[in-house]
Amino acid sequence: MPASQPFGLDRVGQVFVTAHDLDRAVAFYRDRLGMRFLFQVPAMAFFQCGDLSVMLGTPEQPEFDHPASIIYYLVENIERAHRALLERGVAFIRAPALTHRAPDHELWLAFFNDSEGNTAALMARKPTATAG
């Protein structure tokens, strides 16, 4: 980065998701969400999601034992993704719904819980008819 350009975070490489039962969480993320499983070691398992690594892990200390932040998984077709995950037994808190209208797209979200009680979401940006 050039010295004249101010520093700013602009990419996320990995997200940690708390898992109290790691084997159950691995099965959920691999089999129900269909994420690409990389490997598992004691107390941790890793998945690839685009350019992002998702690390499932048992909390090492009490201050890390809390639900994860909400991860929004970007999908092309939210209705198809919702249907596929329902067929795999994923329980949704909220079905796909229009959340926001921007000039060039509509933002659609659907929320679900993973096997460990963490909330996650499907997210789609649908181009509007006037976008071009």
Question: Which residue has tokens 């229009």?
Answer: 98
In a domain, 66, yes or no: yes
In a domain, 46, yes or no: yes
> pLDDT per residue over 85-115, tens digit each?
999 999 999 999 999 999 999 999 999 999 9
Q: Containing domain of residue 54, as a range?
A: 14-127
Instruction: Give the type of residue at 83.
Output: R
Strands 36-41 and 44-49 turn out to be antiparallel
Closest CA to 28 of 68, 81, 86, 88: 88
User: For position 52, which CATH number holds?
Assistant: 3.10.180.10
Other CB atoms within 10 A of residue 22 CB: 18
Q: Say whether pTM exceeds 0.75.
A: yes
In a domain, 43, yes or no: yes
Question: C-alpha distances in angstroms, 61 versus 5, 19, 64?
Answer: 38, 13, 6
In a domain, 132, yes or no: no
> pLDDT per residue over 32-89, tens digit each?
999 999 999 999 999 999 999 999 999 888 888 888 889 999 999 999 999 999 999 9
